[in-house]
Amino acid sequence: MQTQEEPKKQILVVEDEGLIAADIRQRLERLGYSVPMIAHSGEEALRCVRSTPFDLALMDIRLQGPMDGIATAAELKGLNVPVVYVTAYADQETISRAKITEPFGYILKPIADGDLRSAVQISLYKSEMERRLRSSEAWLATTLRSVGEGILATNPDGEVVFVNPMAVKLTCASAAEAHGRLLLDVIQLCEEGSRRPAKNPILDLLPGESRNYALIAKSGAVTAVEVECFENRLAGDVLGAILVVRHQPQRKWKTG
């Protein structure tokens, strides 16, 4: 059975010196990549990217015209095209400017074949991993928005970084209002059977422990809820906490 060959990765070369650009194109094609276009200016690079999908751009920092390579890379970042800088200039000022655009790598001129191969391979791999991460985050956010329980996520400082629609409905605080505020400034909880403000459940509950509270919405509405906390971890590092708020309409809130 014949398998379909994987399409070649497409690379845009942005270089205003024609001979150097042609040399880079030949080297990339020998490595098995496709170089359908060469751009000689920042403006031309943007036109190429808007007309043709590219997996990576090799960008000369010093370009003729109103846009240098760093300004062009900043525009390409907004178009989700990763950039590797190719430059003869490694001074600190240039590197500091270039770092702001978060390039995937640097190659110094004169270009060695090994440096070119490594930089392109690593950059394409990093780009693919970032693409998969963005896709996973998008799926996760969609899932959390669709569940019937209130979800609030905080960073390690206890500031809210995510609320789903059910949490917005329960607290009457929009996502924009909640973002960046401390948890108890967004969700007001009282201990069951009293009007005493509850302690921060992130600090008061064990991971996975649940407890009944009364939730006082911004509108003044009182809702009986069950709250459960989980630590948000990645590779052993605590990234914050996740609060799950379940509406309990069958439970009446009693002031005691």
Q: State which of 88, 117, 141 marks the end of a domain.
A: 141
Contact between residue 164 and residue 150 where contact means Cβ atoms under 8 Å apart:
yes
Lowest mean pLDDT across 14-18, 201-205, 218-222: 218-222
Q: Is residue 2 part of a domain?
A: no
The reply to whether 120 and 189 lie within a common domain is no
- Flag whether pLDDT at 193 surpasses 50: yes
The reply to whether 198 and 134 lie within a common domain is no
In Å, how far are 25, 73, 130, 197, 207 from 204, measured between CA atoms?
Answer: 61, 47, 36, 13, 10
Q: What's the mean pLDDT when you consider all of the chain?
A: 87
Tens digit of each residue's pLDDT (9 = 90 or more) over 104-122: 999 988 899 999 999 999 9
The reply to whether 156 and 132 lie within a common domain is no
Tens digit of each residue's pLDDT (9 = 90 or more) over 153-177: 999 899 999 999 999 999 998 999 9
Q: State which of 141, 163, 189 marks the end of a domain.
A: 141
The reply to whether 33 and 74 lie within a common domain is yes
Tokens matching residue 181:
């505020």
The reply to whether 110 and 219 lie within a common domain is no
Model confidence at 142, in pLDDT bands (50, 70, 90)?
Answer: low
In Å, how far are 38, 79, 174, 217 from 101, measured between CA atoms?
Answer: 21, 12, 32, 42
The reply to whether 115 and 31 lie within a common domain is yes
Q: Is residue 197 part of a domain?
A: yes
Domain around 237: 147-247
The reply to whether 79 and 159 lie within a common domain is no
- Flag whether pLDDT at 138 surpasses 50: yes
Nearest to 12 by CA among 63, 76, 98: 76
Tens digit of each residue's pLDDT (9 = 90 or more) over 2-36: 345 668 999 999 999 999 999 999 999 999 999 99
Q: State which of 96, 117, 141 marks the end of a domain.
A: 141
**1 SS3 class:** coil
- Angular region, 88: left φ>0, alpha ψ -120 to 50, beta rest: alpha
The reply to whether 131 and 157 lie within a common domain is no
Give me the CATH number covering residue 41. 3.40.50.2300
Tens digit of each residue's pLDDT (9 = 90 or more) over 125-135: 998 888 877 77
Q: Is residue 107 part of a domain?
A: yes
- Flag whether pLDDT at 1 surpasses 50: no
Instruction: Count the domains in the chain.
Output: 2
Question: Which residues are 153's β-sheet partners?
Answer: 162, 242
pTM over 0.75: no
Q: Is residue 231 part of a domain?
A: yes
Q: Is residue 48 part of a domain?
A: yes
- Flag whether pLDDT at 72 surpasses 90: yes
